Every structure is written in structure tokens, then in C-alpha cells.
Structure 1
Amino acid sequence: MINSNGTTNYAVILAAGSGERMGFSTPKQFLKLAGRTVIEHTLAAFQDHPLIHEIFIVVSPKDRLYLEELLLKNPVPKVTRILGGGATRKDSSWAGVGAIPADALDHANILMHDAVRPFVTRRIITETIEALQHHEAVDVAVPAVDTIISVDDENFIRDIPDRSALRRGQTPQGFRAAVLKKAHELSHADPDCSVTDDCKLILKYNLGDVFVVRGEEKNIKITYPEDLFLADKIFQVNSSALEDGPPLRRIQDKVVTVFGATKGIGQAVMELGEHYGGRMHGFAASSGCDVSNPEDVRLALQHVMQTEGRIDAVVNTAGILRSGRLADRDPADIEREIAVNYLGSINVVRAALPLLQATRGGICLFTSSSFTRGRSLYTIYSSSKAAIVNLVQGVAEEAAPQGVRINAINPERTATPMRVENFGPEPPESLLTARAVAEATIKTLFANFSGTVVDVRRSSASL
């Protein structure tokens, strides 16, 4: 598979590290974070990117069997080669370069990426590939925010460079494949070459310019035990905008069940789904289906199964919002808010999971921007929305072997009856439309990812 301009983009994932600096017996790329191993998160970023055609993984021979087992359980279709790594990063990089067919070199790009950078974004990958249309090599970097010092052998400061010109390098590093192969070949014949960075090879042998693409602070490399704690926190609050997503027509002839279907976002999902040919089934408390009652949820899904014979996707938008100081609120009112907002989602998920295995379907729950920090006067609502995110992340791991996906939609302020009831009239231009959120929800239902918080913002809404 190649781009329209005739170029094939290969991603080489460097996963041969031993993780000695971690102090763990398991290499860091195989440690688990947010339901998956670090390398699985990394692979997903390149698998889901439309400009990446093939993925090579370079791994230590002793870890090859474990990696193969991971890929059997959770296939990554773009992975076409698993290569043995060398003693150094340069050796592993060479293994990736050498795997590209000779007749493809002149029409290929290589993106070298650390397996232990799981937060690489679609923007970084896209801009790296785009820059290779004009440059032989591309690095990814962020500004140096700390003062950098150079010391001598006795630990005295020798120099303090001007940090305005300094950057902290990240990956991926991108190269025109033929140029990088030539750089490695020159290094093999150079006994004085101690370079370990591929970009530095390009500079050392004057093979072209190296352009710098803006990185991101969250694109961290997991190296030390402290990085695990930071990565875990990033996963906890990490979210992504649905930049493209499957076309809405993917819902055509799909059987979709919507809870909370008679108002706001739920109603918009029903209407948009029907417009694009979905076989939509809606339930709500007003029609006798209370998500806080497990039996109501079970009977609703049973009705759909009896009618359609299958269920392809389930959406739960049901929720209530109450305000007031926690100390002043009625206990029964608190319990009702938790029952609908949190236990309701649990009831929907538990009932839906067995039914979705046959179709390898998707579930969408709803959180809000308040999940990252509790909000005064809305403590129950915000804490229940934080619980939804943790629920989604945990269930995503449990449901992965059955092929069921689950994600959380995180819309900013949206024009719904619930919002009007609680906040009164607001300028329409300051709010998302329910239809825009419905579009993102339908796309997410049929996207390949799972365990993700999907941001919906006015700037990214197309409807």
C-alpha cells in the first residue's frame, strides 16, 4: 500500500530495550498501563494512523515469543515484520532499515519510534510525514525549559548554553529510507562512529538537513520508575479529539440501542442514526426504562434482541444533574443521582457485554469535563463522571479479548434540556449542539479504539 504520491510510510517500533534502569524483571515496554501493555498503546497510535502503511517491531530475541502472543491476542494488522534487535539502539535501528525491500527504498519513508513513548499523537505523526516531502530527515522536539549545563570530568560547570536554541528530542524521527540506509552503511565503515541517534548520523555524514517538528510535553519516554506514575496519571486524564473517525454511514443497517433517548444528546443520536440508516431502538425513564434498575435494562435489550436478532452498539446518555453543598443535600437525592449517573452505566454495560460479543460491537458512555477535578456544588455529578472514565478504562481491558470496544464521550457545554434546567438560557454560540455530540458518538461507536475519552469541542464539531 502506498500514498497517492507513490511513497510508502514504514513505522519502526524500537522495543529491544531491557528496562534495566527501571529495576524490574519485565522490560518497560511490556509493563501494563491503563489496561494494556505500553507497547500496545504505542502500536495503536500507528495502526490507527491513515498515513502509516506498515509497522516493523524490533524486539530482543528473548522477548519475541511474548510479543507474538500479545499480537495473537490483540492483532495489529499493519505489523508485517518482527525483527531481532541488536546490542545498541543503532543496531536495532539498522535492523529496521534493512527490512525494507531494496526496490522500495527510493519511494519509502521510515519513522523510528521508541516503543516506550505511548502518548505520541496523530498530529506529530502527520507532521513528521508531511515534513519528509521537503526534507531528508525530521526530528521531533520540545523547548528546553530547564537550564542546561555542561560539566567537565570533575563535575565543574564548563558551559551554560543559551537554552533558547536548545530542544529536548523525542520520537518519532522520520527519514527518507534511502538516505538513512546510506548513513548506516557509512557508519559501519567508520571505526570512529559512536553515534547512537539516527538524526545525528545524517548530520555527521552531511546527507541532508534535519527539520524539527514540534513535539508535545506528554509524549514522554518511560525510562525510570517515576515515569510509570506520571504515565499512569496521563492515561487517567488523557483524552483525544475524534479528528476523523469512521464515516457516519457506517451506522447503516446497524442495530443500535440508546438509553436516555427522548431528550438532548440521546434524542439527537436517535435522529442522526435514523437519518443515516441505522436501526435505532430508544429507551428512557419517561417510557418506563430506568437505567438504575438492572431489570429494566435487561428487558430493554432483550426486546431489541427478540426484534432484531443482534445488537451492534449501545449508547447510554441517561443522566441527572443536581446542585448544592454536599452537607445540605438530602441523602435520598444523592443516592438517586449516583444510581442514575454511575450505577446506571454499570447496569447498561453488564447487560450489553454478552450481547455485543457476537457482533464485536461498541459501547459509548458519557463523562464531562468535570471528571478531571471535583467541582463545588456539583460534587456528586463530577465524581460520578470521574467514575465513568475509570469504568470505561477498566472494562476496555476486560472486554478486549471478546472484541468489544467501550469509550467515553466528553462533550463541553452542550445545549440540552438538562443544561437549560440547571443553568438557564446561555448564548447559543457558547454551546455545542446536541447534534454535533451525536455525530462524534456515532463515529466513536464504530471506531477501532477502546478505553478512550473522546473530547467533543466546538472547534472540532462539524455539525
Structure 2
Amino acid sequence: MKNVAIIFAGGIGRRMNQKALPKQFMKLHGKEIIIHTLEHFQNHERIDGIVVSCVEGWVEYLEKLIKKYRITKVSDIVLGGRTGQESIYHGLKKATEIYGEEANVLIHDGVRPLINEETITRCIDSINEHGTGITVAPVTETIIRVNEKELIQDVIDRSNCLFARAPQGFRLNEIMEAHELAKKEGKLDFIDSATLMQWKGHKLSVVEGPVENIKITTPMDFFTFRAMVEAKENANLFGE
């Protein structure tokens, strides 16, 4: 069974105050965020291939980066869509063409570079055992629900809550079926693949991932990413 990563990098970074450079191409220590992300899948021994869905106008630039950093497992780059859902669909279609329907797919954000080897392994194992593997992290703060008047309606018991993260893993033929049905019924605004698959009726198994596995969306996220990378580098340097 092939294990394929679908990396979608179709965003343009409106919340990063970047007028020209999409957030996935911002650099930390001279290396683009998308490369930090791709290297985790490149270096994982059980990942057989990678398909990237890239924002329009940046495919050639990404191709040069992939060649520069020797990301040899990238089998193709496809154009992203108008939404995350459409970008993922484009990547899944290409993965089906290359690897066939009988494969596992791990869908991951190009701007979620703090993933680790263990989480990728757990996702693959969960797909093999349960058919799905949704990376999560514990909720560490109080969650409240408000009504239409923006008044607190109730405080939710966070012991039963988890943050949905990525990668989100599925059998390729099943996630493709869900996308095709959603397109047919005009449901084009699912927030992520897990929500789409739950709508299709699939049971979703969770995989615990690192709390720091954040998505780089705002300047604060980028500063957190930088701090985490520097802390890891210092730990390696001083043997902590």
C-alpha cells in the first residue's frame, strides 16, 4: 500500500500582511516554510510520494525550490483552487492518476511545518487499522459558546474537546468519493477534509500530535514557529 502526502499550499497570506509573497514562501533561517514542511515527508521512510497543490503564479518558483533542496519524492505540482477544498481535490486527482486508488493519503497544510516523524507514522498506522487518521491536540484553554447577541450561552467542558490539526489521513478512493459527491451536490465550503468525510458518513479516528503543530497564519504564528525552531536548535547544540 502506497502512502502519499498531499500538501496544499494555495493560500496567499492575507492575515500575514504580505502584499506580494504568499506565506508558504516566507523564510526562516534562509529556508522557505513550505520546504520546512516538505522535508518532514521527504525524510519519512514510509512516505512513497508527494503531490503539492500550489497557488497560481508560483508553481515555477516552487519547482526551483524543490530542485534546490532535493525534495525528490514530489511527483507533481498542480494548481490550487479557489478554496482549500478545491486545492485538495486537485491534488487528490493527480495522486489517483499517479498512484492509483488503492493508496493511503495524508493531507497536510504547506504552512504547518512543526509536524514530526512520529505523528506521520501514527497517521499511517491509523489509516491502515481504522481507515482514517485525524491529527489532534488537546484543548488547553476554556471554550465558550455565544448566542446571536454575542452573549455567553454556555461554557463547554474542554475535557471532551480537541483541536483538529493535520495531517488528516484517509484511503484515497474514499476521500475521492467524498469530494466527487460534494461537488455533485454543490457543497464546496467544507472547512477541512475531516468535516467532509464526516458529512459523507465515515467514522474518524484521532491521532494525538504535538501541541506545537500549529498552522502559520498570522505574524504571531510565525514568531512562535521561529521560537520553536530556535529552541530545538539550541537543545541540539547544548545536548539538552
Q: Which TM-score applies when normalising by structure 2?
A: 0.94
Within a 5 Å distance, the mapping from 1:413-428 to structure 2 comes to: none
Instruction: String of CA shifts for 1:402-426, please: whole Å, max 9, x gaps.
Output: xxxxxx66546xxxxxxxxxxxxxx
2:118 is aligned to 123
Letter in 2 for 1:94: Y
Query: Are 2:51 and 1:56 equivalent residues in the alignment?
Result: yes
Query: Are 2:96 and 1:101 equivalent residues in the alignment?
Result: yes
1:227 is aligned to 221
Instruction: String of CA shifts for 1:272-319, please: whole Å, max 9, x gaps.
Output: xxxxxxxxxxxxxxxxxxxxxxxxxxxxxxxxxxxxxxxxxxxxxxxx
1:162 is aligned to 157
Q: Looking at both structures, which has the greater relative contact order when contacts are Cα pairs under 8 Å and sequence separation is at least 6?
A: 2
How far has the Cα of 1:105 moved from its partner?
4.0
How far has the Cα of 1:121 moved from its partner?
0.2
How far has the Cα of 1:34 moved from its partner?
2.4
How far has the Cα of 1:102 moved from its partner?
5.2
Within a 5 Å distance, the mapping from 1:253-268 to structure 2 comes to: none
Query: Which structure dedicates a bigger proportion of its chain to strand?
Result: 2
1:187 is aligned to 182
How many angstroms apart in 1 are the aligned matches of 2:198 and 2:219?
A: 33
Answer whether contact 2:96 2:172 (CA < 8 A) is retained: no
How many angstroms apart in 2 are the aligned matches of 1:35 and 1:213?
A: 32
Query: Are 2:106 and 1:111 equivalent residues in the alignment?
Result: yes
Answer whether contact 1:34 1:236 (CA < 8 A) is retained: no
How far has the Cα of 1:72 moved from its partner?
2.8
1:238 is aligned to 232
Does the residue aligned with 2:213 lie in a helix, a strand or coil? coil
What are the ranges of 5 or more consecutive residues in structure 1 without an aligned counterpart?
1-6, 240-370, 373-407, 413-463
Does the residue aligned with 1:56 lie in a helix, a strand or coil? strand
How many angstroms apart in 2 are the aligned matches of 1:114 and 1:214?
A: 17
1:434 is aligned to none
Answer whether contact 1:137 1:202 (CA < 8 A) is retained: no
How far has the Cα of 1:75 moved from its partner?
2.1
Query: Are 2:191 and 1:196 equivalent residues in the alignment?
Result: yes
CA distance 1:164–1:81, change in 2 (3 Å): same
% same residue: 34
Query: Are 2:67 and 1:69 equivalent residues in the alignment?
Result: no
Q: Kindly name which structure, 1 or 2, has the bigger radius of gyration based on alpha carbons.
A: 1
Letter in 1 for 2:17: G
How many angstroms apart in 1 are the aligned matches of 2:143 and 2:165?
A: 17
Number of residue pairs matched?
Answer: 239
The correspondence for 2:80, drawn from 81, 85, 89, is 85
How far has the Cα of 1:193 moved from its partner?
5.5
Letter in 1 for 2:69: N
Q: CA RMSD in A?
A: 1.7
Letter in 1 for 2:156: P
CA distance 1:93–1:135, change in 2 (3 Å): same
What are the ranges of 5 or more consecutive residues in structure 2 without an aligned counterpart?
none
Answer whether contact 1:112 1:171 (CA < 8 A) is retained: yes
Instruction: String of CA shifts for 1:196-254, please: whole Å, max 9, x gaps.
Output: 31111111111x21100001112111110111111111110115xxxxxxxxxxxxxxx
The correspondence for 1:147, drawn from 142, 146, 165, is 142
How many angstroms apart in 1 are the aligned matches of 2:55 and 2:187?
A: 26
